[in-house]
Chains A and B, each alone.
Chain A
Amino acid sequence: MSDEQLKALKDQCQKQEEINLVKPILSDADLKWAIEKGLVEA
């Protein structure tokens, strides 16, 4: 989407919302699981 298209979209829309997409490749739950399985030291 070009800058002009983005500007047109902003003009059309009443509201914008930002969503964070940052996500680790392995999560805290995975770490907890690995500790429980004895794969990693706590």
Chain B
Amino acid sequence: MVEALARLRHFLETEKDLEAKSSLTKLTVDMLRNFFQHSELNGNQGIRSYSALERGIFLNDVAIDLNLTSKSQAKTIVIHAYQSMSVWELKKTIAKVCDFSPLQISINRTGKELIGQHSNASLIGDLGIMCMEKLSAIKVYTQTKNAPLVNSRNEYMPNVKRIIETWFEHYSDTEVDGERVMGDEGFNLFMRETTASSILDNIKLKQSKNQFTEGQSEYVTREQFLRFYQTKCIEKPDIVRSNFRAHQIGADLKPLMTHPSANDPKENKDLSSLPRHTLAFDQEVFEGIFELLEQHQMEDIFVLLHSIRVNPATFFQILTLKDRESLAAHLADDKSMYRKFYSLKIIAHLFHEHLSTQQEKAVVFYVDPKSSAAPASVDKSPPKLDLQAVNDDPNNAPTGYIPPPPEGREVTGTRVGNSDQAPFIGPLAPPRPPPNN
């Protein structure tokens, strides 16, 4: 970053062609701004750019539907804020309300581009969000590499087999001839939790069960269950993976974030790793940027200054000025027009902050959670996997296990995650439930 600026300086000092100077300056600034975006994919500690000193229009009644997790009772959050609010601050507010990882939140706008991780550094005004606009917060899945489900001989990978066996152990609810089997109740519960469908009727459930038993029995045995999934792992691996996802297991057979709480350990908490912070807070570098600007008058360098944080020395010097005379003296001391402009914007911001009557706030609307119960004879506790058994396996396969489902998981209702992506294997994919609203 500093190296890029040093090279730019060298180029500007040696190059004679104005167009080439301008072109390289723009390229360097664009490159640095891309770098800023990339460095803030995992959050930015709520830092705001110098451009956020201009608060913009006060946006009233921006409503965001919260579709992140079934356990959250928060339904909608209505934002009242200036355009200078950052996307990351917005995500953090939503995350806190829903107790959900801010890194897994994207904002969906009808007919517009999804506001994802690459926009964390942007201001909501930059994205053109308007008063009274309706948005929705959605969960994003991190793309992971698919782990193999079967080996070259079409046999289960050990960890996959263990997951399937654990499902059987969890959902088998009765015994026949001393062996655990999956009866109607357990099978129906398994189907619902694996497909997230609440409207599987008895005929469809029976037909689905026949896919497992091949019509040989009224219940599903361990052997039938394993055989069925082994065939599907070979023939329809993507749909098996979507079944895994329904149980919070990723394509890499590792748990999707089990508790994607607001305090995500992957969130970046280190200010020194954020170039928008370090450039503005390193006085020497900051002075260097101004020198470049003053010597070469390249407009794009001013764009760079607007992208990074407010320089604390300049800001606090102005903030701590005692009276009007000292303010005038401070401005008079600045010989550079650019420095004067930089200071004036800070002064304007402080005046506006002092005079503003609009209070930035969010109003959260809560609903009661839906209540539902599992069949009494089926254990509702999460499936347990013998991790030791998986880890001891000599086969060098990735470790997989079934994480506990979220608290308050509904037996017949919606599931955490995107139900659209979890069809059930077999020919009897159940119809999707109608949307809630």
Interface residue ranges of B16-70 to A (CB < 8 Å): 46, 48, 52-53, 61-63
One of B97, B349, B361, B367 near A12 (C-beta < 8 A): B367
In the bound complex, what is the Cα–Cα distance between A10 and B282 (angstroms)? 48
Interface residue ranges of B316-374 to A (CB < 8 Å): 316-317, 320, 349, 353, 359-368
Given the known A-B contacts A1-B63, A1-B132, are A17 and B78 also in contact in the complex, defined by CB atoms under 8 Å?
A: no
| Shortest CB distance B71–A (Å) | 16
Interface size bracket, B side: 35 or more
Is A16 touching B364 in the complex (CB atoms < 8 A)? yes
Is B316 touching A17 in the complex (CB atoms < 8 A)? no
Contact with B along A14-28 (1 / 0, CB 8 A): 111111111111100
Is A21 touching B363 in the complex (CB atoms < 8 A)? no
Is B283 touching A14 in the complex (CB atoms < 8 A)? no
One of A14, A16, A22 near B363 (C-beta < 8 A): A16
Q: Which residues of A contact B362 (CB under 8 A)?
A: 18-19, 21
One of A12, A20, A25 near B310 (C-beta < 8 A): A25
Is B365 touching A20 in the complex (CB atoms < 8 A)? no
Is A26 touching B53 in the complex (CB atoms < 8 A)? no
| Shortest CB distance A24–B (Å) | 8
In the bound complex, what is the Cα–Cα distance between A37 and B311 (angstroms)? 13
How many residues does chain A have at the interface if contact means C-beta atoms less than 8 Å apart? Answer: 29
| Shortest CB distance B49–A (Å) | 9
Most-contacted residue by chain B among A1, A9, A18, A34 (CB, 10 A): A1
In the bound complex, what is the Cα–Cα distance between A39 and B311 (angstroms)? 10
Q: Which residues of B contact A24 (CB under 8 A)?
A: 353
| Shortest CB distance A31–B (Å) | 6
In the bound complex, what is the Cα–Cα distance between A16 and B353 (angstroms)? 27
Q: Which residues of A contact B317 (CB under 8 A)?
A: 40
Is A34 touching B81 in the complex (CB atoms < 8 A)? no
Is A40 touching B361 in the complex (CB atoms < 8 A)? no
Most-contacted residue by chain B among A6, A25, A30 (CB, 10 A): A25
Q: Which residues of A contact B283 (CB under 8 A)?
A: 37, 39
In the bound complex, what is the Cα–Cα distance between A9 and B364 (angstroms)? 11
Q: Which residues of B contact A19 (CB under 8 A)?
A: 93, 96-97, 361-364
Q: Which residues of A contact B93 (CB under 8 A)?
A: 19, 21
One of B96, B312, B359 near A39 (C-beta < 8 A): B312
Q: Which residues of A contact B133 (CB under 8 A)?
A: 1
In the bound complex, what is the Cα–Cα distance between A17 and B132 (angstroms)? 19
| Shortest CB distance A14–B (Å) | 6
In the bound complex, what is the Cα–Cα distance between A12 and B361 (angstroms)? 21
Is A31 touching B53 in the complex (CB atoms < 8 A)? no
One of A12, A20, A23, A34 near B75 (C-beta < 8 A): A12
In the bound complex, what is the Cα–Cα distance between A23 and B93 (angstroms)? 12
**Residue B85, interface by CB 8 Å:** yes
Given the known A-B contacts A12-B367, A21-B361, A25-B53, are A33 and B97 also in contact in the complex, defined by CB atoms under 8 Å?
A: no
| Shortest CB distance A11–B (Å) | 10
Q: Using CB atoms, name the residue of chain A closest to B85.
A: A21
Contact with A along B355-399 (1 / 0, CB 8 A): 000011111111110000000000000000000000000000000
| Shortest CB distance A41–B (Å) | 7
**Residue B313, interface by CB 8 Å:** yes
Is B85 touching A31 in the complex (CB atoms < 8 A)? no
One of B313, B349, B359, B364 near A25 (C-beta < 8 A): B349
**A residues whose Cβ falls under 8 Å from a Cβ of B:** 1-2, 5-6, 9-10, 12-26, 30-31, 33-34, 37, 39-41
Q: Which 9 A-B pairs have the closest CB atoms?
A: A1-B63, A39-B313, A21-B360, A13-B365, A34-B312, A15-B366, A40-B316, A19-B362, A17-B364
Listed by A's residue number, 17 A-B pairs whose Cβ atoms lie within 8 Å are A1-B62, A5-B63, A5-B134, A6-B61, A9-B365, A12-B365, A13-B366, A18-B362, A19-B363, A21-B81, A21-B93, A25-B310, A25-B315, A30-B316, A33-B312, A34-B316, A39-B316
